[in-house]
Amino acid sequence: MAFELQKIRDDFPTLAREVRPGVPLIYLDSTATSHKPEAVLAAMDSYYRNSNANIHRGVHTLAEEATGLYEKARESIARFINAPAARQVIYTRNTTESINLVAYTWARANLKSGDLLITTEMEHHSNLVPWHMLAAERGVRLEFIPVTSDGLLDLDEYRKLLELGPKLVAFTHMSNVLGTINPAKEIIRLAHQAGAITLVDGAQSVPHFAVDVQDLDVDFLAFSAHKMVGPTGIGALYGKQALLEAMPPFLGGGDMIKTVHLRTFTPNTIPYKFEAGTPAIAEAVGFGAACEYLTAIGMDAIAAHEHAITEYALERLEEIPGLKLFGPSADKKGGVAAFVLDGVHPHDVAQILDGDGVAVRAGHHCAQPLHEKFNIPATSRASFYLYSTTAEVDKLVEGIYKVKKYFA
């Protein structure tokens, strides 16, 4: 499919709405969540209208149809990240649960008091708090790769930390605040040389550019459907087969077992031993449809479009007096522009922009330590996706000038 921006925008019904009479929606908050195309909505609707049943074990027609749709979606997700096998893709609720699954299973089975875990100063809370909890429970040590003033990871300091012999390196592929695209393949290679397992938070990378788990050689990859034109309430954890097979189950209940006796049980094989209870079946179907939708457009084409939009947005925003951007240059970042405006709280910026239909996010974006690093309480954040336009960027800039005038 050729990249036809207007045709793509027509696929997303929400983008055509007005937030109030005469005020069209300008959606610049895709880092928080993306909108959903008709193909995803239709797939979920068709499941509920035609094939709704519980999966696995049932032998009637609807149960077999539902199971087939659920597992077909898993195969689509596996292809999307080039996983060697669909059984290496575990359904979860979101990226947060995927990271916690690793923390509660692999980490608690393999890390002991004094062991070192390395993460970074730019992490989302979802890749910090599970490790804080583990440190408090097990005495695991945490060290952090510093962020430089221009929003990049200090890889020289990372190499020094690796000399301490970490057991796990967990880091974000792309910052949800700075937009920084970290050199994941190199970080993983160095971690493996040091004998460490790696976990990548792919919440912001998998939706926006091609991520190949085999090329990266990553041990665990966590990501969410809702940030990649899929539904909320479902995500995935990819893991190397040997690691997943050695890990204990996460939750206990139906479907994660092979046999149950009064005093013992035998866990199921992967992926099912990590998928207890009735899952989010319709959401899985939507997740698979989202992967197929993005694949049809082409991830390289999406990445190229987003780069062009980001480059344009940074140029326009840099023109505004009193506005400070955070993060590296456009060639080192994804579609995120976090900024502060002199004398105006980020929440006020966001609220005034909303009056013109411009949806941006304000706050610390679940990355409070990163904001503390830059000595700011919050930022305003505009973010872009495959359906974003330069006209929307112009509307954002126009709105910021209105904010400046209001507070002059």
List the catalytic residues.
Answer: 366
Q: At how many degrees (to 10) do helices 184-193 and 155-162 cross?
A: 20
User: How far is C-alpha 317 from the chain's CA centre?
Assistant: 25
Residue 301 contacts residue 3 (beta carbons within 8 Å): yes
Query: Which amino acid type is present at position 153?
Result: L
> Beta partners for 221?
200, 238
Q: What is the distance in angstroms between the CA of the first residue and the CA of the last residue of the chain?
A: 48
How far is 192 from 212, CA to CA, in rounded Å?
17
CA 230 vs. chain centroid, Å, equals: 12
The count of other CB atoms within 10 Å of the CB of residue 349 is 26
How far apart CA 113 and CA 325 sit, in angstroms, is 40
Distance from C-alpha of 137 to C-alpha of 115, rounded to nearest angstrom: 13
Neighbours of 141 (CB within 10 A): 15
